[in-house]
Amino acid sequence: MGDDRARLNLKSLARHLDLSITTVSRALRNGPEVRKETIERVQKAAAELGYVRDFGGLTLRTGLSYSICVLMSAVPPDDIADTGSVGLLQGVHEVAQAAGYAVTAVPLAPGADPIDALKTIIDGRRADGLIFDHTLPMDPRVRFLLERDFPFVTFGRTELFTPHAWFDIDDEDATCRAVRHLLANGYRRICLINPPAEFMFSQYRLRGYRKALAEAGIGIDPRLILDLDLTARRTRASVKDLMVQESPPDAFICVNDITSLGMMTGLRDIGLDPADFGFCASTTTRLIEYVEPTPVSFYFPLQEAGRRLTRLMLRRLEGETDISQLQELAVAEMHVPPRI
């Protein structure tokens, strides 16, 4: 059987099962058009017979790489940024692998031209589809990929007229709920710790902040809106100037768990106790549960985001053309920690 196993290919597996090559191929990729019992039968036989998909041969025959690329923003090595990237990749890999695709991650250094990276990937046929985050209102990456008609899904929305596939978490809703919660608990000088204003999710967060304050009849104080990079160091450094103003904040809404850590450490640096302030944070990991005092969190796991991004990506690669069906908005789950 050793020699037969070495020579086993898709055609011989299909012959062994008395199924068409197309059916076997789709079953190996968990194709929704194939019956569940057929998928189980094909995958069981493939495992028993030692079938391994010949990606080299597939690439030569089809011109496809059977790879999905995830573009990620790199972080300076001497700082701490969002810890959820591994979870995102796990989710992408989980769904992609089941469909027969490999996953590559490409970190982009601060200041690097993302279009150059896109050209390298596309022209070198290194991936069949792209996933990337931190979208801008008129994102040049999206415009470039639309012009090249290259499959992609963004983690975040844009304001471009041409529709495209995206998955996003409703940051406007989460921030609005955070403000309402803090107001209901007696806080009035609520500081919004936001990512750089150029990002779409920063603008959605600001909309939610403004909406909830307007509902309560409270005016906007620009001094309570900080646009910072998403690192603990930068947030920590901002605290001193923030707290010396005549009417300092009594509560904070942080963009993620890392900025929450930076803010709390900064308060301790100047002799203040974070427990004396209100804290809310959007988060994609469980890290915030180990912080004291534990902020109210608006949680959506990045692993699930990775899964949903990849499912959209696969539908795009399979030829789905109704882009309106490839746009999904998720709502974060609010967690209020028990108070002793």
Q: Each residue of 193-210: pLDDT tens digit? A: 999 999 999 999 999 999
Residues 160-177, mean pLDDT to the nearest whole number: 97
List the CATH code of the domain at 2-53.
1.10.260
The closest of 188, 200, 206 to 250, measured between CA atoms, is 188
Of the chain, the end-to-end C-alpha distance in Å amounts to: 66
The whole-angstrom separation of Cα 109 and Cα 295 is: 31
What confidence category does residue 5 fall into, taking pLDDT thresholds of 50, 70 and 90? very low
Which residue has better confidence, 292 or 49? 292
Closest alpha carbon to 332 in 241, 201, 203, 229: 201
What is d(CA 126, CA 120) in angstroms, rounded to the nearest whole number? 8
The answer to whether 296 and 178 are in contact (CB under 8 A) is: yes
Confidence (pLDDT) at 4:
43
Tokens of 311: 């499912």
Going by C-alpha positions, the residue among 135, 100, 91 that lies closest to residue 27 is: 100
pLDDT above 50 (res 60):
no
Mean pLDDT of 285-302: 90
3-class DSSP state of 278: strand
- 152/85 Cα distance (integer angstroms): 18
Domain definitions of the chain by residue range: 2-53, 67-169+302-330, 171-299
Poorest-confidence range of 43-47, 129-133, 280-284? Answer: 43-47
pLDDT tens track for 101-130:
999 999 887 778 999 999 999 998 889 999
The CA-CA-CA angle for residues 260, 330, 286, to 5°, reads: 35
67-169+302-330 maps to which CATH number? 3.40.50.2300
Rounded distance, CA 163 to CA 161, Å?
6
Q: Whole-prediction pTM value?
A: 0.83
Averaged pLDDT score across all residues of the chain: 88
- Kindly tell me if the per-residue pLDDT of 144 is higher than 90: yes
pLDDT at 181: 98
The structure tokens listed for 126 are 């290194």
Q: What is the mean pLDDT of residues 23-52?
A: 81
pLDDT bracket for residue 289 (50, 70, 90): confident
Domain 171-299 is of which CATH architecture? Answer: 3-Layer(aba) Sandwich (3.40)
Q: Which residue in the block uniquely carries the two structure tokens 């709390």?
A: 264
With beta carbons less than 8 A apart as the criterion, state whether 132 and 155 touch: yes
- Describe the chain by its helix, strand, coil percentages, rounded to 5: 50, 15, 35
Q: Find how far residue 340's CA is from the centre of its chain.
A: 34
Report the share of the chain in percent with pLDDT over 70. Answer: 90
Do the domains 2-53 and 171-299 sit in the same CATH topology, yes or no?
no
